[in-house]
Structure 1
C-alpha cells in the first residue's frame, strides 16, 4: 500500500531541503547581528497558552488533541508569537527588554488560502519592552532587511493600524474578525451584505467600502482625520507619523506606504501592523505589528512588536 502525504502537508528533501536551511541560516544570522537571541519553543502547548489574547481566528486554526500520555488536552502550535509571549511572561521576567528570534514549523488546521499549505516554517523576531514608535521602527527596519536578504528587489512595506478599523466599526454587532476577513478579501459586495444589517452611519459605511476597494492610502487617511472620532484620529496620526519616520530610515530599495486597508493575519495586534510585499508577488511575504494586549493576557504588561515570514513561501516566490 502506498502512503501519500496528507493534503496540505509535504516532504522536503534534496535541493529544496538545502535551500530552506540556507535561507533559514541567512535569516537567523541577520537577526543575531541585529541583537536578537534565538529561542526554540516546543511544538506542543497547552491550548490556553496559544489562545490567550490571540483572537478567535488563531484559535480556529489550532489543532488540539488528547494526549495519550495523560497530560490532558494539548495543541500543535499554529503560530509561534503566543509561545514567545508565554516565555517572556513566565521564564524571562527579570529582563526589562527582550529581543528574541525563532524559526520552526507551525501547522494550521486549514490553509490560509485555497490550495495552500497547512505547514509553514515560521521565522521571525519579537521585540518586547520597547514602547511606541521606537520598537515599531526597529522591527520594520529589520523586516525590510529580511526581504532583501531573501533576494527580493523593490520590496514594499504597507503599514496600517488596527485602531482605524476598530473606530469605524465601533458599536456594530459583527465581531472584528468578520470585518477583517471581509476587508482582507477585498470583497465590496460581501461587505455590503454585512453593512446592510448593521446600524452604521453612511459615512462609516462608505469608508469601509473604500477600504474594501483598496483606497486607504496616505491621502485618504489624512483626509479622514476629523470625520470618525478621536480614536480614529489618534490611530491615523500615529500611523502617518510612523510611516514618515520609517521611510527616512529604511535601507535599500524598499518603499514604505501607509495603507488603512492592511489587515492583520491574526487578530492579536493592538496597534500598528504591516505586511511586506515584493514586485511581481501578489501574496504578502511577511506580516507584523504591535501586540501589547496579548502580552497583558499572558500576565505581563509590557509593550511588544514583531514580524514573521514563512520560509517555504519565500522559497516559492523568490
Structure 2
C-alpha cells in the first residue's frame, strides 16, 4: 500500500485559519500581559549547537532533541525542545551584567524528536516568563500571579492551581524522617503513585501520611500540619497559605506535596495550572537553579495548543470587498480604521463567495 505523499508525521498537524487566528490572538494577549508587568521579551534561536543546548538540559530532556550536522561548521546542531534552558544561557551571557532580578518572557515554537506518552504533540508553541536571580516567596507569588493573569488573558477559564514541593522528600530524608540514600528514589516513586503498600515495601512507612496530604489546599495543609516533622514543614506550610490566599477568587487551589511529574529539576516549590475544557496541563512552573551558573530562578511555561479546545470559536469578522476600480487611498484609510479588506482581481470576482460582508461603493462600505 502506497503512503499518501502529503501525510504528516505522527504528532504534527496543520493549524487552519480559525485555529491559527485563535492561537495568534492568545499569544498576543499573553505577551501583552507579561509586558505589562515589566517582563522584557527575548527571542532565542530555534537551532543551537547541540553541546550547548543539551548541556543546559537534564539528560532525560536532552534525549528529545532533534539533531543534525551543520554543513558550515560540521558540528552537531539541535532544534530546541524547550526554551527555558535558552533563557538561562541568555541570562548567563548577553545579560550577565544586567541588574537582578532579571525579568524575561518569551514565545516560540519547540519540537521534540518523539512524543510524550501523555501528550502526542511533537511541535508546540511555548511561552512563559522567568524571574532570574530570585526564588523567594515574594518571587514565587509574583510568578504565580503572573501565570494566572497570563492564562486569563489567553482566554482560560475555571483555573485550578495544583501546588507541590519537589524537594520535600529529600528535605525530610536528610533530617526529621531519615532515609538511606538508596531508598529515597523508590520512596518518591511510590509517593507519586500513591501506593501505600509499595511505599511500605520501599522502606518509607513513616512517609505514609504524605499520601493523604493532598486535595483542596485547606484540607491538605491540615493533614500536612499533623505530620509535624519537628517543625521542618512550618515555613513551607506558612508559605503555601500565603500563596493560596493571594489566589482567592481567581483560581481553585489544591496541594499534592509529593507530585513529581514535570518537576524533576525544580527545587523547593512548583505548580501546575489546569483549565476547564483544556487538554492537559496549561502551565507548569516553580523554582529552580539555572544550569551551569547555579543562579536561583523562578518561572513558568505555557503551551498554547493545549488551551485551544477550551477557547470559544472566534467571532466572524467583517470583510470589505474592494472592486478593481477602487481608490487605494480610501482603502488605506478604511484599513487604518480597522476594516479588513479583500482586493478583487477580476471584474467577475463574487464578494459573497469570497466571504465578504461589505462592498466598497465610492468612499464608503455598504453591506452586501
TM-score category of the 2 structures, normalised to the smaller one: 0.7 to 0.9
Partner of 1:140: 144
Q: Relative to structure 2, which stretch is displaced further, 115-124 or 263-272?
A: 263-272
Which of 118, 123, 126 does residue 122 from structure 2 map onto? 118
Q: Which residue does the alignment assign to 1:101? A: 105
1:298 is aligned to 292
Name which of 234, 238, 259 aligns with 2:256: 259
> Per-residue deviation at 1:242?
2.2
CA–CA separation in structure 1 for the residues paired with 2:259 and 2:282: 13
1:277 to 274, 299, 320: 274
User: How high is the TM-score relative to the length of structure 1?
Assistant: 0.82
**Are the aligned partners of 1:99 and 1:125 in contact in 2 as well (CA < 8 Å)?**
yes
Q: Kindly tell me: are residues 8 and 195 of structure 1, through their superposed partners in 2, closer, same or farther at Cα, counting changes over 3 Å?
A: farther
The CA RMSD measured in Å over matched residues stands at: 3.1
The answer to whether 1:16 aligns with 2:16 is no
Match of 1:83 in 2: 86
| Alignment pair present for 1:160 and 2:164 | yes
Which residue is equivalent to 1:2?
A: 5
- Give the Cα–Cα distance (whole angstroms) in 1 for the partners of residues 132 and 210 of structure 2: 32
Q: TM-score, normalised by structure 2?
A: 0.72
Secondary structure, aligned partner of 1:121: strand
Residues 162 and 273 in structure 1, CA contact (< 8 A), matched pair in contact too: yes
SS in 2 for 1:135: helix
Give runs of aligned pairs for residues 164-243 of structure 1, distance below 5 A.
Answer: 164-167=168-171, 171-173=180-182, 186=193, 188=195, 192=198, 196=201, 198=202, 200-204=203-207, 206-207=208-209, 210=212, 217-226=220-229, 233=232, 236-243=233-240
Aligned partners of 2:278 and 2:308 also within 8 Å: no
CA 1:165–1:67 in 2, change beyond 3 Å: closer, same or farther?
farther
User: Which 10-residue stretch deviates more, 45-54 or 308-317?
Assistant: 45-54
CA shift in 2, pair 1:135/1:34, >3 Å:
same
Q: 1:251 to 1:143 in 2, by over 3 A?
A: farther
Secondary structure of 1:217's counterpart equals helix
Partner Cα distance (1:34, 1:281) in 2: 26
Q: CA deviation at 1:195?
A: 6.8
Cα distance, 1:252–1:32 mapped onto 2, change above 3 Å: farther
Structure with the larger helix share? 1
| Cα deviation 1:261-307 (Å, max 9, x = unaligned) | 33351522112110112345572211001112xx2x322x4320000
Whether the aligned pair in 2 keeps the contact of 1:159 and 1:275 (CA below 8 Å) is: yes
SS of the residue corresponding to residue 271 of structure 1 reads strand
- Give the distance between the partners of 1:59 and 1:22, measured in 2 at CA: 31
Distance 1:155 1:147, change over 3 A: same
- Residues 168 and 258 of structure 2 are in contact (CA less than 8 Å); yes or no, is this contact kept in structure 1? no
1:214: Cα distance to partner?
11
| Structure with greater contact order relative to length (CA < 8 Å, sep ≥ 6) | 1
Task: State the distance in 2 between where 1:252 and 1:209 align.
Answer: 28
Higher alpha-carbon Rg: 2
CA contact (8 A) 1:45 1:75 kept: yes
Query: Hey, what's the Cα distance between the residues in 2 that align with 1:140 and 1:212?
Result: 20
For residue 11 of structure 1, report the CA deviation from its aligned partner.
Answer: 1.6
Shift of 1:175: 8.0
Which of 124, 129, 132 does residue 133 from structure 2 map onto? 129
Say whether residues 1:309 and 2:312 are aligned partners. no
Task: Return the alpha-carbon distance in structure 2 between the equivalents of residues 122 and 115 of structure 1.
Answer: 14
The Cα shift of 1:120 comes to 1.4
Aligned residues: 301
Q: Which residue of 1 aligns with 2:320?
A: none
Q: Indicate how the Cα distance of structure 1 residues 148 and 180 shifts in structure 2: closer, same or farther if over 3 A, else same.
A: farther
CA distance in 2 between partners of 1:282 and 1:241 (Å): 32
- Indicate whether 1:149 and 2:153 are aligned: yes
Matched residues in 2 for 1:282 and 1:223: separation? 35
